[in-house]
Chain A
Amino acid sequence: MQTTILYIGRDTEITVVMNRLLNARPEWKGICVCSDEEAISILKAQDVDLVLLGNGISPECEKVLRSDIIALKPQIKIIQHYGGGSGLLYGEIMTALG
């Protein structure tokens, strides 16, 4: 069974890399977006197990985004992704999923 992971960032290049990294593992399905509106649409349309917050999201936007996500999916896990690449990704996701 695949774990669906939604990555939300601001940098297009990093988002492309994250999409490649997440979908390289058969056990993960990665969806990567740069827009909060697109992220909310995805959350309304399908099940997501984990949200990764990436680079460039201002504290104000993050507060609103977290609130909107929790309102839609109260049980969802939201974590900060650091590093922008493969180094920390596996550990972050494994830790979040327990």
Chain B
Amino acid sequence: MERMTRVTSRTVVLPQTDIDTDQIMPARFLTTTDREGLGKAAFADWRYDDDDQPLPDFPLNQPGAAEAQVLVAGNNFGCGSSREHAPWGLVDFGFRAVISTQIADIFRNNALKNGLVPVIVDADTHRWLMENPGAEVTVDVESATLILPDNRVLEFPIDGFSQHCLLEGTDQLGFLLAQDEAISRFEQDRP
């Protein structure tokens, strides 16, 4: 995982609530055995027409979206399937943070393991972000804050361990492997 310390970017806004991981990454793209290259498939059913041409009205196809690194989405983003292909696709597209009022548990876990920062904001801030697509915001991992264009600084919740892993760019597997002795002891003590 690459280090993720701070990102400043325009936002792309997807206003729908309950965007599920089947929308983020439709099942037909899950046949891949790789992690890379899924950016093209992100939101495929909303993004392309029947001839695989980009739909101009879809926010990810609009000017500037290709460079955007912060996604703002309706409440309960990432619900449904546990497919990690969803955050893989978003990261491959270029996103480094996703902002919503609620983010589904499994998606949040998967996102954090791929350098994609889940940012939970209050309803008022969320409404403002929804109404102002393209606003330039900063997500700062070290201080766990979101900085809005008017320089307001909002804290967002993040697990300290995940924050550490993002800042260092370390995989959590290393921590688990270092627990080998404790795991062996636990296994020996089992009934």
Q: Do A and B bind each other?
A: no
